[in-house]
């Protein structure tokens, strides 16, 4: 009979375990990646308002609107510069821009949707937007362009008086002339829109005035045709008795206010046109 062996006092040899050669390196690499990820997360969290603003659709739309304005502005500037030289070309485009931004600013003031101005080389510029329900407001939106142009022309004239440079008198004359021309009382000019709030029947006389000016100052035939295409349907509508529905709410007092603003703007533009036409001695 075999006796049991007591192994309690036998030495036990532990198996050899092969350890990795560089364990700290792996741990350090993982820690570095984690720290970097944490840093990026904190940075995004800190600037999340900026990121949300950049991704906001409203800013994308505004960017698209500014791009539409910008490339037509630059194209017109380039073409007018080629035609008239850089100083006069730049002034020509700035006169148009000031006029159109006058419309834009008042439309926005009335809470109306409006697009930034669009320039059409050698034809002008336009600002599209919603029509107000009030015909008096519509007249003031139309007057805002010539009034802004009047302010710019007056500033150019003041520069001319201070500097005695003929260029500024020429710029004042240009601004006054373009805005005064836009006051012709026939659509699609601003003056036609204003007169539409006072007495649309005056458009007939306005067309006669426009044709006379076209012959007198040699307006290109293409421009005359474009004005006729846009304006004649409205004149024919008046002859047939078509009336703007908003005219029913126009009081005599409102018509008088619009007429005074129209005449006052005309007077200011006429004055600047005549004053800047004569360059003072020494300029």
Residue 149 CB neighbours (<10 A): 29
How high is the pLDDT of residue 55? 54
Vertex 140 angle, CA 119 and 74, to 5°: 15
Torsion angle defined by CA atoms of residues 197, 199, 201 and 206, in that order, rounded to the nearest 10 degrees: -80
How high is the pLDDT of residue 39? 56
Distance from the Cα of residue 215 to its chain's centroid: 33
Report the C-alpha gap between 164 and 26 in whole angstroms: 78
| H runs (alpha helix) in 56-165 | 57-84, 86-109, 135-163
10-residue stretch averages of pLDDT, the chain, 283 residues long:
44 47 50 54 49 52 59 91 91 95 96 93 90 96 97 96 93 96 95 95 92 90 90 90 90 97 97 85 58
How high is the pLDDT of residue 78? 93
Q: pTM for the full model?
A: 0.74
How high is the pLDDT of residue 123? 84
Judge whether 74 and 108 are in contact, CB under 8 Å: no
Helix, strand, coil percentages in the chain from 3-state DSSP, rounded to 5: 70, 5, 25
Neighbour-count burial for 162-195, b at 16+ CB within 10 Å, e otherwise = eeeeeebbbbbbbbbbbbbbbbbbbbebbbbbbb
């Amino acid at each position: 009979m075999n006796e049991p062996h007591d192994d309690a006092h036998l030495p036990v040899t532990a198996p050899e375990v092969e350890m990795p050669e560089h364990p700290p390196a792996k741990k350090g690499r993982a820690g570095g990646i984690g720290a970097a990820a944490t840093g990026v997360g904190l940075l995004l969290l800190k600037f999340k308002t900026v990121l949300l603003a950049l991704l906001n659709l409203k800013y994308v739309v505004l960017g698209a609107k500014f791009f539409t304005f910008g490339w037509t502005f630059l194209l017109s500037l380039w073409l007018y510069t080629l035609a008239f030289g850089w100083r006069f070309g730049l002034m020509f485009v700035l006169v148009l821009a000031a006029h159109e931004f006058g419309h834009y600013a008042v439309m926005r003031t009335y809470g109306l949707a409006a697009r930034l101005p669009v320039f059409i080389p050698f034809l002008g510029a336009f600002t599209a937007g919603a029509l107000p329900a009030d015909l008096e407001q519509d007249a003031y939106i139309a007057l805002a362009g010539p009034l802004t142009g009047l302010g710019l022309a007056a500033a150019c004239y003041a520069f001319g008086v201070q500097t005695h440079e003929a260029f500024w008198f020429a710029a004042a004359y240009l601004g006054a002339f373009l805005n005064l021309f836009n006051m012709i009382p026939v659509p699609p000019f601003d003056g036609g829109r204003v007169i539409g709030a006072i007495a649309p029947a005056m458009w007939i006389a306005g067309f006669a005035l426009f044709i006379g000016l076209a012959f007198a100052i040699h307006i290109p035939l293409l421009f005359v045709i474009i004005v006729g295409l846009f304006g004649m349907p409205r004149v024919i509508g008046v002859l047939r008795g078509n009336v703007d529905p908003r005219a029913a709410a126009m009081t005599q007092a409102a018509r008088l206010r619009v007429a005074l603003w129209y005449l006052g703007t005309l007077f200011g533009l006429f004055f600047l046109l005549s004053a800047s036409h004569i360059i003072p001695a020494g300029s």
